Amino acid sequence: MKSRLIFTILGPLVGILLILFFDFNAERPETTRMAAVAAWMAIWWMTEVVPLAVTALLPISLFPLLGIMNGKLVSSAYCNYIIFLFIGGILVALAMERWNLHRRIALRILLFVGIQPSRIILGFMLATAFLSMWISNTATTMMMVPIGLAVVNSLEQQIGEKQISKYSVGLFLGIAYGASIGGVATLVGTPTNLSFSRIFQINFPQAPEITFASWLMFALPVSATVLVCSWWWLTHLFCRHLETVELNPSLFQNQYRQLGPMSWAEKVVLADFIVLVLLWLFRSDIRLGSFTLYGWSNLFDQPYKLNDGTVAITLAIILFLIPASLSEKAENERILDWKTATKIPWNIVLLLGSGFAVASGFKSSGLSEWLGGRLSEVVGCHPVILLVVTCLLVTFLTELTSNVTTVEILLPILGALAIAIKIHPLFLMVPATISCSFAFMLPVATPPNAIVFATNRIQTSEMAKVGILLNLLCVFLVATATLVIGKIIFDMDLSQPPSWIFQK
């Protein structure tokens, strides 16, 4: 309680001291004031002395009071197409959860993969990763853990508790890691990706849009590679003593049968989900070298007015209109109702909005420019070394802080640094964003880690030993992917920066 009070006071105190005793830009006092607010928010975010969402509201109050930004502009940061992309995606995900479609998909993947001990871990990781591409990492993990517990209990009856104790560590770590790894693959998979998309757009309004398809083409190979490597590492550590064990094939079959035949509601949600993904993928033009696949938005007179948020909300609205059953008795029930929609995690919505507000504040106050100038004086290393250091810093910082807050604090700084040293901003911002999801060492690092730790089948020391190697491996893989795939997809040229980074 005492430390909580100390950090509660420390946040605003540091902000006040910065304003009173520092002057970053004599001609623009708002530069120092923005730094003060950022420091205050960073302290509260990292210590969580107040709810993250409460800290997220500070820009609405402080920016106008301190003359950093107009109140109308600050408020608009909390309501933009990225926010509605998140809300639309969450609504479709809630419909999947309401009608148990996510459980059916998970069990189907597990049945397809097989019942050998190593394949069971692979099945859980594949199912968790796939669902986490579209549903929140936390919800996916909470859904998969009970299935995992049922499997472990069944294995204990077949083989013995002593032999399965070690194996269960690998299984539950596989679920947690699968959730984090899968969320990386799509723009809607985790809030950090959405934060990056909007912060990048705020800082570089003239830059080409980061579309759902362009992100997928870069992040999916990274996600798949990390998934395979982490599966091999987990099975190497936790499955070797069970290689000759034969398991009961009805392990997942009974659970799948209990779901019964696919209902009308499940079919509608599945169709809506497939259409949503296809529309996201093919909305904008996809360029592969000299070949261009034109997006469906070109069918409209003004295709630039359409975005991924438009698609997400449209497909979500459709679910509110379609009956949940073809039976006349259920004619008033819809696939998605407002009671289900109220489960939208509004705290994450506010957290996303605050990141966009902070990014706007950094730019409008001149703090981004000031930081870029100071950092360029300090950083004189090769861009590749800077890339690796960025990945290392973000990966291990996220072990102790929320990944969303890490992104929202660091990305505006990395954007400013890119301008100052004249390199492509995505060369640092994309790997930093992805590295935020690859924190595998501590229970507090990510919600999936905390959820599987709560099963009491994993010790912190076990998670740390397994996770540290994966953390380092991910730094290497993300840096390599940025240098190889990122250069092509995001048109990055290390020899010269794109012209749009200097345009306001």
DSSP assignment string, 273-325: HHHHHHHHHTSS-EEETTEEE--GGGGSS-GGG--HHHHHHHHHHHHHHSBS-
Both tokens assigned to 419: 């301008």
Nearest to 140 by CA among 121, 122, 127: 127
User: What kind and span of H or E run contains 164?
Assistant: helix 161-184
According to the 3-state scheme, what is the secondary structure of 108-122? HHHHHHCCCHHHHHH
Q: Which of 110-114, 122-126, 209-213, 338-342 has the lowest mean pLDDT?
A: 110-114
Q: Which of 22-36, 179-193, 216-230, 285-299 has the lowest mean pLDDT?
A: 285-299
- pTM score of the predicted model: 0.79
How far apart CA 121 and CA 259 sit, in angstroms, is 22
Both tokens assigned to 395: 């990966």
How far apart CA 87 and CA 465 sit, in angstroms, is 37
The pLDDT, as a whole number, for residue 376 is 66
The pLDDT, as a whole number, for residue 272 is 94
How far apart CA 58 and CA 292 sit, in angstroms, is 44
**Cβ atoms of residues 129 and 230 within 8 Å:** no
The pLDDT, as a whole number, for residue 136 is 77
Q: What are the tens digits of pLDDT across the range 464-499? A: 889 999 999 999 999 999 999 988 888 888 778 888
How far apart CA 447 and CA 354 sit, in angstroms, is 20
**Cβ atoms of residues 266 and 101 within 8 Å:** yes
Tell me which DSSP letter residue 209 carries.
P
Q: Give me the mean pLDDT over the 338-351 stretch.
A: 88
**Cβ atoms of residues 137 and 183 within 8 Å:** yes
The pLDDT, as a whole number, for residue 171 is 92
The pLDDT, as a whole number, for residue 379 is 65
Over the chain, what is the mean pLDDT? 86
Q: Give me the mean pLDDT over the 136-155 stretch.
A: 81
The pLDDT, as a whole number, for residue 61 is 95
If one counts every other C-beta atom within 10 angstroms of the C-beta of residue 288, the result is 10
Q: Is 80 exceeded by the pLDDT of residue 402?
A: no
Q: What are the tens digits of pLDDT across the range 79-109? A: 888 888 888 888 988 898 899 888 888 888 8
Q: Is 70 exceeded by the pLDDT of residue 288?
A: no
Q: Give me the mean pLDDT over the 33-60 stretch.
A: 89
Distance of CA 475 to the CA centre of its chain: 17
Both tokens assigned to 286: 């996809």
Give me the phi and psi of 133, to 5 degrees please.
-65, -20
Per the rule left: phi > 0, alpha: psi between -120 and 50, beta: everything else, 210 is beta
Tell me which DSSP letter residue 334 carries.
B
The pLDDT, as a whole number, for residue 482 is 94
Q: Is 70 exceeded by the pLDDT of residue 446?
A: yes
Q: Give me the mean pLDDT over the 45-63 stretch.
A: 89
Q: What are the tens digits of pLDDT across the range 209-259? A: 888 888 999 999 999 999 999 999 999 988 877 766 666 667 778 888 888
Tell me which DSSP letter residue 240 carries.
G
Q: Give me the mean pLDDT over the 149-177 stretch.
A: 84
Q: Give me the mean pLDDT over the 433-461 stretch.
A: 85
The pLDDT, as a whole number, for residue 307 is 83
How far apart CA 298 and CA 284 sit, in angstroms, is 8
Q: Give me the mean pLDDT over the 425-430 stretch.
A: 93
Q: How confident is the model at residue 500 (pLDDT cuts 50, 70, 90)?
A: confident
User: What kind and span of H or E run contains 267?
Assistant: helix 264-281
Nearest-10 Cα torsion for 373, 397, 56, 24: -20
Beta bridge partners of 292: 287
Q: How confident is the model at residue 329 (pLDDT cuts 50, 70, 90)?
A: low
The pLDDT, as a whole number, for residue 246 is 64
Q: Is 90 exceeded by the pLDDT of residue 178?
A: yes
Q: Which of 221-230, 266-275, 400-409 has the lowest mean pLDDT?
A: 400-409
More confident residue, 64 or 398: 64
Radius of gyration, CA atoms only, the chain: 24
The pLDDT, as a whole number, for residue 172 is 92
Q: How confident is the model at residue 64 (pLDDT cuts 50, 70, 90)?
A: very high
The pLDDT, as a whole number, for residue 79 is 87
Q: Where are the domains of the chain?
A: 51-502
